[in-house]
Amino acid sequence: MSRSGGLQYKTDRGPSLAACRAVRRGHFITFEGGEGTGKSTQAKLLAARLKSLGIDVLLTREPGGSPGAEAVRHVLLSGAAKPLGPYAEAILFAAARDDHVRSVIRPALEQGTWVVSDRFADSTRVYQGVLGNVDPNLIRRLEHITIGGTRPDLTFILDLPADIGLKRAVRRRGSRPRDRFEAEGLAFHRKLREAYLELAEHEPERCMVIDASAHMTKIASVIWALVDARLHPAETPSELENAVS
Ligand code: Z5A
């Protein structure tokens, strides 16, 4: 059932959910949020901490994460698809995700690897669905087709006032030109923040809103405490134990 710009997607879990859960052994964690909120930084810190426990971890990103999806990333972020409109962009993000999930994420989870992704399907809900006004039914159908039951166990939504995020992104970018979405104005990025907060309200079990204005090590500790409490990484058999069993 969709509401308020299509942010309520709980009901359409798809017939393949039981099958996917049955074979899935690794945990799936995603990072979401606006521009410059620190998603890449926190995804890397979390992956490193999990690895330090001997857990097999795949750090990936969207759009991208597989050779096919990285090719689509270039088309999307260069702005080449912008004249085609938000529906075409939504379909291209979905095409990239389909390849990423089938060739990288799902096989990794099935082998017991933990997957940490810098952005995933919530970005489509928010950027194309809410900001792009793409019909929520289409967004839901695309999600159903591309990810089926391969849904994140936990999603961290890094929350920061849009102007601070944009300043951080500008500093990081240096002299490189702005990409398709970086080029949008402050009003776009403010609306984006609201849309992510609304999404978190609809799925409080999965989505954790994190204050991204703190120091990066403090944020990493908060995230680690939540992962520890929810997914119990210390109880996960290490790569070594897997190899000898
Ligand atoms: N998009 C979409 O529309 N639909 C979709 O389905 C998907 C994506 C999957 C991908 O851009 C774009 O595609 C994205 C949405 C759209 N567009 N935007 N905007 P991307 O992958 O190139 O970039 P991004 O995802 O927006 O992330 P980012 O701007 O690169 O930022 P970030 O990953 O959130 O932050 P960061 O790189 O970790 O940190 C940014 C800088 O801040 C860096 O210099 C850090 O050292 C610094 N930083 C990090 N944490 C802190 C703290 N805590 N304090 C101070 N400074 C910090």
pLDDT in tens, 194-206: 999 999 999 999 9
Whether 119 contacts 62, CB under 8 Å: yes
H or E, element range at 210 = strand 207-211
Q: What is the pLDDT of residues 118-174, one digit of tens each?
A: 999 999 999 999 999 999 999 999 999 999 999 999 999 999 999 999 999 889 888
Query: Of all residues in the chain, what percent carry a pLDDT higher than 70?
Result: 87
Task: Give me the pLDDT at residue 14, please.
Answer: 42
Query: How many CA atoms within 13 Å lie on the side-chain side of 21?
Result: 9
Q: How far apart are CA 76 and CA 200, in angstroms?
A: 26
Alpha-carbon distance 67 to 62, whole Å? Answer: 12
In the 3-class helix/strand/coil scheme, how is 211-225 assigned residue by residue?
A: ECCCCHHHHHHHHHH
Residue 168 Cβ < 6 Å to ligand 1: yes
Give this prediction's pTM.
0.91
Instruction: Answer whether 63 contacts ligand 1 (Cβ < 6 A).
Output: yes
Question: Which of 26, 47, 6, 15 has its CA nearest to residue 152?
Answer: 26
Which residue has 């901490």 as its token pair? 49
Q: How far is 9 from 91, CA to CA, in rounded Å?
A: 18
pLDDT digits (tens, 9 = 90+) for 14-48: 444 444 444 668 999 999 999 999 999 999 999 99
Measuring from atom 48 of ligand 1, which residue has the nearest CA? 38
- Among residues 57, 38, 37, the alpha carbon closest in space to that of 49 is found at 57
Testing ligand 1's pocket by substitution, the residue of 31, 32, 39 carrying the most ligand atoms inside 8 A of its CB is 39
What does the alpha-carbon distance between residue 37 and residue 40 come to, in Å, rounded to a whole number? 9
Please report how many Cα atoms fall inside a 13 Å half-sphere around the Cα of residue 200, on the Cβ side.
20
What is the per-residue pLDDT across 73-82, written as a single tens digit (0 to 9) for each? Answer: 999 999 999 9
Tell me, in angstroms, the distance from the centre of ligand 1 to residue 197's CA.
17
pLDDT one-digit tens code per residue, 84-125: 999 999 999 999 999 999 999 999 999 999 999 999 999 999
Q: For domain 27-231, give the CATH number.
A: 3.40.50.300
Amino acid at 71: A
